[in-house]
Amino acid sequence: MKINKIFIKIFLSVFLTVLGLSAVFFITANNYVDRKYKTLFTYELISNKNIVAHALIPLYLSGNTNSVQNTVDEYGRLINRRITVIAPNGRVLADSQSKAEDMPNHGDRKEVREALIGKEATNIRYSSTLNKEMLYTASLIEINGKPAAVLRLSMPLETINIFANEMRVTILIIILIVLCISLIVASVIAFKISDKITHLKDASAKLAEGDFSVKINSESNDELDQLCNSFNSMAEQIEALFAKTSEEKDKIDKIMESVTDTILVTDKTGRIIMHNGAFEKHFKNINPDNRFFWEIFRDKKLEEAFKELSSGATNAVSSEAEYENKIYSFSAAKIKTNENIVLTFHDITAIKQMALMKKEFVTNASHELKTPLTAISCFVENIESEDDINTVKHYISIIKKHSERLTKIVTDLLALSELENNKNIEFTKTDLSKITDSLIDFYKNRTGQKNLKFEFIKNEGPFMINANEFYIEQMFMNLIDNAIRYTEKGQITVKLERQNDKINLTVEDTGIGIAAEHLPRLFERFYVVDKARSRKSGGTGLGLSIVKYITNIHGATITVDSKVNSGTSFTVKFNAV
């Protein structure tokens, strides 16, 4: 049996209560036994005294008072009690256990005084004659209506105590038996109560830790078992409530996590108390927990929006904020129930960049189209007023050149538009080496016209990819055209390599190269590093944009490595099949 504090408390409470009641009972029983035996022996002394009185009265009537001592001695031996006869003046006339002439006057004894006035006297006091506590009874013997003597019977209290002690021992044994039984009963009661309370404590601890399956078995229907049943019912209700709460929380979490926008919840002081998973995606290496939002977002518009919500001036605010070169559209709203504030951030950097690119595209396209159109218009007017046939031919050649540039720009724009809008491009299993092989001879002639060396390097295949052959040819031609256009001396190198599950197509040149600051925008429409050179060589600024679109629709990646006056290298990585 496991001993615990509750067991000890309950056991001691029950045992000490029984022990206290036993002590009270023993004291009460002891007093009762003491009184009872004193009363019993008092009645015995009175009865014996009446018998002795009947024996003495004839002696007094006959005047034979000399025989009183003999009668007292005889009856004293017979009833084993001390018998004393005292004259009305207090002189002891006879005594069964002492010599009467040696005894002092007893007139001052309480029992004697009361007997002389006619009372049935009883007294307990110390006997100076026998040197012990004695129980006395005394009454008056009257002869012819006159006091003749006081008859007193007595016995030692120790005799009474002998009988009383026997009863006390019996009572004490009974009490000890009751105490032993109470020990057992107290142990059983304490164990049962402490066991249930311990189970309740342990179950409560498990419940607090989140174990809602905990149950307490109850065997009876007392108050503790009713408490256990109530606990079981409470655990079931809490489990159901937590399940419902968890379900609702899971729904909210799923909604929060499914939202791609960043969501923050702050208290009314601005401290972040909740956020969704999109926060880590958009704001990396930042732990927002228990931080104020302005520690992360140092944006004046956002702070002003928070102040408006906190002051109650409005319930919702929308605006834009900047963070580390990114632009976010944010909305802030106050929760009515608890005054917390919900902040939603949507990354509109790409939208802003797209808008800027569209604006630049319109500007560039307008500029690129306006230049040849203006030239054509001017030279047409010159032809109208020119009579010299050679000059007219020169003007016509210029018009033709600008017309061809205009046609090339429109053709490239249409190609880009087709790439963007054509969602049903057909892909087939294609051998990339066949496409490159078919174009190598053509470009060897072109590089030869500029006195450039052309080199084609190919390792062992196969070079099979899922591709649209037409677009792959266009991409390859644009890369080589670009290399030839910006290379005046040296060589053009084309590499076709297979590396595990990747097929790499590389076009390298030893041309003028590209500065590092231009590389991030290299694939934008109409973006050219050297506009004058691009126009002179017939470039439109759309070729690399077309190349980028083609690589994207094929699930490929393109990288560029360049150094000014050293050359440029474009590498396209395809997934092999």
Higher pLDDT, 213 or 454: 454
- Residue 160: what pLDDT? 82
Query: CATH number of the domain at 259-347, out of 3.40.50.1440, 3.40.640.10, 3.40.50.300, 3.30.450.20?
Result: 3.30.450.20
Read off the amino acid at residue 251: K
The helices-and-strands tally (H runs, E runs) of the chain is 14, 17
User: Could you tell me the pLDDT band of residue 506, with boundaries at 50, 70 and 90?
Assistant: very high
Find the mean pLDDT for residues 102-113: 90
Query: CATH number of the domain at 352-418, out of 3.30.750.24, 3.30.70.1230, 3.40.50.300, 1.10.287.130?
Result: 1.10.287.130
- Residue 405: what pLDDT? 65
- The CATH code of the domain at 45-164 is 3.30.450.20
- Residue 418: what pLDDT? 66
Q: How far apart are CA 362 and CA 369, in angstroms?
A: 10
Delimiting residues of CATH 3.30.565.10 domain(s) in the chain: 425-575
In tens, the pLDDT along 435-470 reads: 888 888 788 888 888 889 999 998 887 899 999 888
Find the mean pLDDT for residues 82-110: 90
Q: What does DSSP assign to residue 330?
A: E
Query: Which residues touch 276 (CB under 8 Å, ≥6 apart)?
Result: 256, 257, 259, 262, 263
Query: CATH number of the domain at 425-575, out of 3.40.720.10, 1.10.10.10, 3.30.565.10, 2.60.40.10?
Result: 3.30.565.10
Structure tokens at 76: 């004293």
Cite the DSSP H helix spans in 63-105.
Answer: 68-79
- Residue 510: what pLDDT? 93
Delimiting residues of CATH 3.30.450.20 domain(s) in the chain: 45-164, 259-347
In this structure, the number of other CB atoms found within 10 A of the CB of residue 77 comes to 11
Q: What does DSSP assign to residue 292?
A: B
The pLDDT of residue 404 is above 90:
no
pTM of the entire structure? 0.40
Structure tokens at 77: 């031996």
In tens, the pLDDT along 239-250 reads: 888 888 888 878
Kind and range of the H or E element at 179?
A: helix 157-208
The pLDDT of residue 4 is above 70:
no
Delimiting residues of CATH 1.10.287.130 domain(s) in the chain: 352-418
Find the mean pLDDT for residues 282-288: 74
- Residue 233: what pLDDT? 83
- Residue 569: what pLDDT? 94
User: Could you tell me the pLDDT band of residue 83, with boundaries at 50, 70 and 90?
Assistant: very high
The pLDDT of residue 424 is above 80:
no
Instruction: Tell which residue, 446, 363, 377, 445, has the closest CA to residue 406.
Output: 377
- Residue 362: what pLDDT? 58
- Residue 368: what pLDDT? 58
Structure tokens at 569: 């290298």
